[in-house]
Structure 1
Amino acid sequence: MSPEEIAAWTGAGVGVLALIGAGWRAARAAARVVGRVDDLVDDWKGTPARSGVPARPGLMARVAAIEEQTAQIADRVTAIEHELHPNSGASLRDAVDRVDRRTARLSPEG
């Protein structure tokens, strides 16, 4: 075999190995993308419980739970605001105002 043939075969071998390496890198990148898409689908749909791992609700179930909690918090804030403003005499603000007026009558220097 001549040196030119050896160089040609070596170049061909290196080219084949380069193609295999590029294919391997592309396959790994594709596998990462597929894995991420699979994770996204699991997050969207949720996952059922399995041995040692609790179930994870999907995105829509989590959003519904957040909306329910937000409604409960809004109701609580409304009740708190009701206590902070004078109204029919039953709020905390009305009680504080009554105590303040009584204290002012008892202690004129107040």
Structure 2
Amino acid sequence: MTGILVVDLCIALAAIAGGAAVVTKALGLIKRGGDVLDDWQGEPARPGVPARPGVMARLEAIEAQLKPNGGSTLRDAVNEIRAGQADHLRTHHGD
């Protein structure tokens, strides 16, 4: 009878350990899911840590750089370089 009790106890402990491993893995996945949501939505500033804008705010800032606004966007810089190259080619190659 003691042998059966020991086997039952070992099986129960193995089941608890396996269950604990599953729960630990599930909690890790839940935390990573929360991290993804935090990255998507952004985080407000807190003492010692600056705010982090969410994905949509960052995407909006990137899109704003792709439209000319009279001098301060990446698009304006590309247009200025292109115009300068065209002027250089006309001046030095006789177009």
Q: Which TM-score tier does this pair reach, normalised by the shorter chain?
A: 0.7 to 0.9
Identify which range, 53-62 or 74-83, moves more after superposition. 74-83
Q: Which residue of 2 is the match for residue 83 of structure 1?
A: 84
CA distance in 2, matches of 1:94, 1:10: 93
CA distance in 1, matches of 2:37, 2:92: 55
Q: Which protein is bigger by CA-based radius of gyration?
A: 1
Identity across matched positions, percent: 35
Q: TM-score, normalised by structure 1?
A: 0.72
Q: TM-score, normalised by structure 2?
A: 0.82
- Give structure 1 stretches of 5+ with no counterpart: 86-90, 99-110
- Listed as ranges, the matches of 1:61-80 within 5 Å are 61-71=57-67, 72-80=73-81
- Distance apart, 1:83 and its partner CA: 1.8
2:31 is aligned, of 20, 32, 35, to 35
Residue type of the alignment partner of 1:76: A
- Distance apart, 1:95 and its partner CA: 5.0
- Listed as ranges, the matches of 1:1-110 within 5 Å are 5-71=1-67, 72-85=73-86, 91-94=87-90, 96=92
Give RMSD over aligned pairs. 1.7
Q: How many residues align?
A: 89
- Distance apart, 1:49 and its partner CA: 0.6
Local SS of the residue matching 2:50: coil
- Give structure 2 stretches of 5+ with no counterpart: 68-72
